[in-house]
Amino acid sequence: MARIAIVGVGTIGGVTAALLQQAGGHELLLCTRRPMSGLAVETPDGLVKLRASFTTNPTETFNVDWVIVATKAYDVAGTAKWLEQLCSNGAPVAVLQNGVEHRERFAPYVPMEKILPVMVDCPAERQVPDRVRQRGVMHLKVPDSALGRDFVKQFTGTPADATTVPDFLSVVWRKLCFNSAGVLSALVLQPAGVVRGEAMGDVALQIIRECAAVARAEGANLEENVADVVLAAQRAAPADSVNSMLADRQAGRSVEIDARNGVIVRLGRRHGIATPANSMAVALMEAMVAKV
């Protein structure tokens, strides 16, 4: 088994750690911003209490076999402080973040061939600082490469749906179609059920269609009716579910607006594709979270 460091032990990092513990044999090092003495994850199969080493000091880490990054997309500079020591023996870095620019964010700090982008999808929420609730299966999709296959192997024997995929570009853009409409919950400070209304549903469709148009220009293969499929799935989700952007805004933290909607605007501009719904969402969110 492997020595694995997880940088960022929030909702996704906590669930990932619980899964790796279930694999058995891994030595886990959990790198956190604030001191933690323990963490429990309420999984669909029961409560998992983590047995791991915790540290808040990048200089007190050791080299590992894998680094898993589960921080927010806006916190790359803070994350990078951990990588020099953790990757001193050339450990690869798996990036479990939102958006489609995983490699681009970490290229200044890690050799490109050592960066593994990961599409992660898991319904989960952090209830209190030392407890996470996992509502369903964690899906982890990675490019079909030697690095991707080794990453998937670390989850052998766990309930995770960890697989390699031949067309990662399409997978990650399809996930962004889901994430892009999540900005509406964060803007109005209401959980997922808000898109069940006709007016909000129409706006969600506009946001998703713009995302899909940019995705296709980037080379992704998405079905023609992807926006309708995504909205139907969002409306079928638990009405009280809270996405990470809404949770961050409720907690007064920074939000991943650039990784989730800003990238659609930026790449749309590059391809000459109009993105008025996403542009408005970005402008509104940036104004709402701006420090006065």
pLDDT tens for 186-208 read: 999 999 999 999 999 999 999 99
In a 13 Å sphere around the CA of 72, the CA atoms on its Cβ side amount to 15
Separation CA 128–CA 64 (nearest Å): 29
For this structure, is 175 an active site residue?
A: yes
pLDDT tens for 31-61 read: 998 888 899 999 999 999 999 999 999 998 8
pLDDT at position 292, please? 45
Q: How confident is the model at residue 291 (pLDDT cuts 50, 70, 90)?
A: low
**281 contacts 249 by C-beta, under 8 angstroms:** no
Residue 173: C-alpha distances to residues 115, 153, 244, 261, 263 (Å): 18, 24, 18, 12, 11
pLDDT at position 290, please? 84
User: Which pTM was predicted?
Assistant: 0.92
Can you name the CATH fold of 3-166? Answer: Rossmann fold (3.40.50)
Across the chain, what does the average pLDDT equal? 95
pLDDT tens for 252-267 read: 989 999 999 999 999 9
**263 contacts 99 by C-beta, under 8 angstroms:** yes
**124 contacts 12 by C-beta, under 8 angstroms:** yes
Just give the CATH number of 169-289: 1.10.1040.10
SS3 119: strand
Token pair 């402008």 is at which residue? 283
pLDDT at position 66, please? 98
pLDDT at position 126, please? 85
72, 81, 141, 175: which is the annotated catalytic residue? 175
pLDDT at position 249, please? 92
Q: Are strands 27-31 and 3-7 parallel, antiparallel or unpaired?
A: parallel
**264 contacts 275 by C-beta, under 8 angstroms:** yes
pLDDT at position 1, please? 80
- Identity of the amino acid at 64: V
% pLDDT > 70, the chain: 99
Q: How many residues does the chain have?
A: 292
Domain ranges of the chain: 3-166, 169-289
pLDDT tens for 81-132 read: 999 999 999 999 999 999 999 999 999 999 999 999 999 999 888 878 889 9
Whether residue 243 has pLDDT greater than 80: yes
Q: At what angle do helices 263-271 and 276-289 cross, to 10 degrees?
A: 140
161 beta partners: 139
